[in-house]
Amino acid sequence: MPETRVPRRRRFLVCEPRHFAVQYAINPWMQPDIQVDVDLAREQWQSLIRAYRAHGHEVDTLEPVVGLPDMVFAANSAVVVGGRVFGSLFHAPERRPESTHYETWFKTAGFDVYRPESVCEGEGDLVWTGRYVLAGTGFRTTRDAHREVQEFFGHPVVSLTLVDPYFYHLDTALFVLDDDNIAYYPEAFSPGSREVLARLYPDAVLATRDDASAFGLNSVSDGRHVFIAPQAEALAARLDERGYVPVPVDLSEFRKAGGGIKCCTQEIRS
């Protein structure tokens, strides 16, 4: 019998996809000639918010800004650990204005915000495990930013190299299940990084390329419930076998921009 998992109440920051569109291409998923169904995107996004609240989580909302179509991807805006906010400096010039709006929200909410000197894309590449930060690099966030993160938070940072452009952010290839374990797609990482993950998490839930391509690893877990793309059926089954409870939420319209559940969710850790 799988062990019983214990959920922990979370606080999330999100941004409505009122102006969501694919107007440029900054990752392999984005094709500007493909139209986005904004109404469908808003319906899917609202279903995610309802799912969070139905499971007892707190959700704060940031007002979207015209001309910033990727602002819905709140996870890229910062990483928050112990009530301290490490902001973002986007790789793509098109997204850099987003940082100011998120910084304003955090400051208004009473947080101090650190502005990184190096390219850094928030929780897209910085994953807090409860003990240390897993930090992705290779396509967006730089190793210099990893050093800044360690100096700012005073927690160890484990650098991991991403090698597949389709999984350009760490949160497309890996997510934290609870304080002790993760799920990830090994082939998204360099050989050395795969060895590091195998040593740190010998009991990890391993995903296939199909799972990852369905954005099954762009999931959010509260320690028991895993909010996951319904298309990642095999991964959901493996999670169920381990005692987690998959909560399918379809955000397939956001895949046109290379995003999913986690991309749309910034966690605020006090």
Enzyme catalytic residues = 169, 263
Please list, residue by residue across 130-153, b when 16 or more beta carbons sit within 10 angstroms of its beta carbon and e when fewer do: eeebbbbbbbbbbeebbebbbebb
Phi (first) and psi of residue 159, to 5 degrees? -80, 135
Distance CA 197, CA 132 (A): 13
CB 177 within 8 A of CB 226: yes
For tokens 């709140």, the residue is 74
Alpha helices in 17-113, H assignment, sequence order: 38-54, 96-108
Q: What is the end-to-end Cα distance of the chain in Å, rounded?
A: 34
The pair of structure tokens assigned to 236 is 């959901």
Distance CA 215, CA 209 (A): 10
Phi (first) and psi of residue 264, to 5 degrees? -85, 5
SS3 210: helix
Distance CA 254, CA 53 (A): 21
